[in-house]
Amino acid sequence: MTLVNRLGIAMLAVAALTVIIPNAVPTALAHHSGVEFDTSKVVEITGTIKEFQFKNPHTWIQVMVPNGKGGTVEWSLEWGSPNSLGRQGVRPTTFPVGAKATLRINPMRTGAPGGAFVGAKFEDGKTVGQWN
């Protein structure tokens, strides 16, 4: 390959990166921004685990919380990736269906029944996440 061909390929690569990177970074940051959660607040909810979705890109904990009117409301709690949580000892069985727990979350800014998971304490005293 001649020097001219190498320079041409290098210039194309630089031009492509100049277009791709500025457009990709805001999308990635927006996806992982967490702006929907009010991180200035930590609230506790108590309920029964309905499902633990230990799947990429984020895990989700579905919790049935009594609404004070004889019914329940399903709360959706977002957590980290299975890969990072697995390195911390979290497994698909960490939140068994039917288990009762008190969960600490950063609530949704909209007031919707959901939030970012912070920590949990089960009836038997076992804790997961940040629980101090």
Long-range CB pairs of 122-126 (<8 Å, 24+ gap) are 123/99
Three-class SS of residue 93? coil
CATH code of 117's domain:
2.40.50
70 and 122 in a common domain: yes
What's the whole-model pTM score? Answer: 0.75
**Looking at the domain assignment, is residue 132 inside a domain?**
no
pLDDT band at 13 (very low <50, low <70, confident <90, very high): low
In a shared domain, residues 23 and 88: no
- Give yes or no: residues 13 and 74 share one domain: no
Beta-carbon contacts of 111 under 8 Å, excluding residues fewer than 6 positions away, are: none
Q: Average pLDDT, whole number, for the chain? A: 86
74-115 pLDDT, tens per residue? 999 999 999 999 999 999 999 999 999 999 999 999 999 999
- 47 and 29, same structural domain? no
In a domain, 92, yes or no: yes
Helix (H) or strand (E) holding 22: helix 3-31
Residue 81 lies in a domain: yes
**Residue 14 domain-assigned?**
yes
Residues 106 and 68 occupy one common structural domain: yes
Residue 95 half-sphere exposure, CB side, CA atoms within 13 Å? 26
Answer yes or no: is 61 within a domain.
Answer: yes
Domain residues for the domain of 80 are 43-127
The overall longest dimension of the chain from CA atoms, in Å, is 78
Domain-embedded: residue 71: yes
* Joined tokens for residue 65: 């919380």
Q: Which residue, among 75, 79, 66, has the nearest Cα to 113 in the 3D structure?
A: 75
Burial class (CB in 10 A: 0-12, 13-18, 19+), 77: buried
Q: Is 9 within a domain?
A: yes
Task: Specify whether 22 is located in the same domain as 55.
Answer: no
| Number of domains forming the structure of the chain | 2
